[in-house]
């Protein structure tokens, strides 16, 4: 859509309200609005059976907004991303600022005291724009995603934007919709209010998700 601009809160809030997000290309700050757009329907999450068993066990502990900076660092460096990430230091600093202002949130997955996975994104109205996720232990990013979806449902969110479809997210029921449809749904979500909260709300909804 555009190049340049600023990573200030005002720019970011205005961009996300119009379905546009930053995705730097090397040293160039670029802004994107894909067509089609990928989303996960909050009431149509698919959980593979093996993952469902992991979720039912005690292997991981899951929190929210406990270590936002740690999740950002994981998303920027895990899986050999250190030299090939779009999550540049200026973008990380911008999202840390948005977290301090109450707009950006994280879900953390722990093994003991070690952060082994997580995801983060930006919340506006009843829309949550998921930005990235990472893992350092098998299934940790998947556990973060399922817990995020359950939490958003429990808190009354209407739209989960994941920007682009990948084979990984498609396994969980992610779909693509035309940009025009996405923008209509975004406008509707922004007319409603939802709060992310300080405690993760999951578990009670797990029996309502489908398994593969």
pLDDT of residue 81: 56
Q: Would you say 203 and 55 are in contact if contact means Cβ atoms under 8 Å apart?
A: no
Both tokens assigned to 146: 């399922």
Mean pLDDT (the chain, rounded): 91
What does the block give as tokens for 34?
A: 């894909």
Give the C-alpha separation, 75 to 24, whole Å: 15
High-pLDDT (> 90) share of the chain, %: 75
Q: Tell me, what CATH number does 112's domain have?
A: 3.40.630.70
**Distances, alpha carbon 189 to alpha carbons 7, 155, 186, in Å:** 23, 13, 5
What average pLDDT does the segment 104-115 reach? 97
Q: Rounded mean pLDDT of 42-55?
A: 87
* Domain-embedded: residue 20: no
**How many Cα atoms are found within 13 Å in the side-chain-facing hemisphere of 4?**
0
Q: Determine, yes or no, domain membership for 207.
A: yes
**Residue 201, in any domain of the structure:** yes
Q: Is residue 10 part of a domain?
A: no
pLDDT at 206 over 90: no
User: Is position 4 within any domain?
Assistant: no
- Residue 165 near residue 175, CB atoms below 8 Å: yes
Tell me, what's the pLDDT at 203?
56
Give residue-wise pLDDT tens across range 20-46: 999 988 789 999 999 999 999 999 998
Interatomic CA distance for residues 202 and 155, integer angstroms: 10
For residue 165, the enclosing domain spans 34-211
Q: Give kind and range of the element (H or E) at residue 98.
A: helix 89-100
Q: How many CB atoms lie within 10 A of CB 195?
A: 11
pLDDT per residue as tens digits for the range 143-197: 999 999 999 999 999 999 999 999 889 999 999 999 999 999 999 999 999 999 9
The answer to whether residue 102 is domain-embedded is yes
Contact 152, 160 (CB under 8 A): yes
Determine the Cα–Cα distance for residues 93 and 60; give it in Å rounded to an integer. Answer: 28
For residue 1, is it within any domain?
no
Residue-level pLDDT at 51: 84
Measured CA to CA, the distance from residue 112 to residue 166 in angstroms comes to: 30
- In the chain, the percentage of residues whose pLDDT exceeds 70 is 92
Tell me what pLDDT residue 2 has: 86
Would you state the pLDDT for residue 63?
96
Q: Which residues touch 58 (CB under 8 Å, ≥6 apart)?
A: none
Is-above-0.85 flag for pTM? yes
Q: What is the mean pLDDT of residues 46-70?
A: 90
In a domain, 5, yes or no: no
Structurally, the chain folds into a number of domains equal to: 1
At 86 the pLDDT is 82
Query: What is the predicted pLDDT for the residue at 205?
Result: 42
């Amino acid at each position: 859509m555009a190049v340049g601009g600023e990573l200030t809160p005002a720019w970011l809030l205005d961009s996300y309200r119009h379905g546009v997000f930053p995705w730097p290309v090397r040293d160039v700050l670029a802004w994107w609005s894909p067509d089609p757009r990928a989303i996960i329907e909050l009431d149509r999450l698919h959980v593979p059976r093996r993952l469902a068993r992991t979720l039912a066990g005690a292997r991981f502990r899951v929190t929210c907004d406990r270590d936002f900076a740690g999740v950002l660092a994981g998303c920027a460096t895990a899986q050999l991303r250190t030299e090939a990430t779009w999550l540049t230091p200026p973008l990380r600093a911008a999202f840390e600022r948005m977290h301090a202002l109450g707009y950006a949130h994280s879900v953390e997955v722990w093994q003991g005291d070690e952060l082994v996975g997580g995801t983060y994104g930006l919340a506006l109205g009843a829309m949550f724009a998921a930005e990235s996720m990472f893992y350092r232990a098998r299934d940790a990013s998947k556990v973060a995603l399922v817990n995020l979806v359950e939490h958003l449902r429990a808190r009354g969110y209407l739209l989960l934007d994941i920007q682009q479809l990948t084979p990984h997210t498609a396994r969980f029921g992610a779909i693509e919709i035309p940009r025009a449809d996405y923008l209509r749904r975004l406008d509707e979500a922004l007319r409603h209010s939802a709060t992310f909260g300080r405690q993760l709300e999951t578990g009670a909804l797990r029996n309502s998700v489908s398994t593969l």
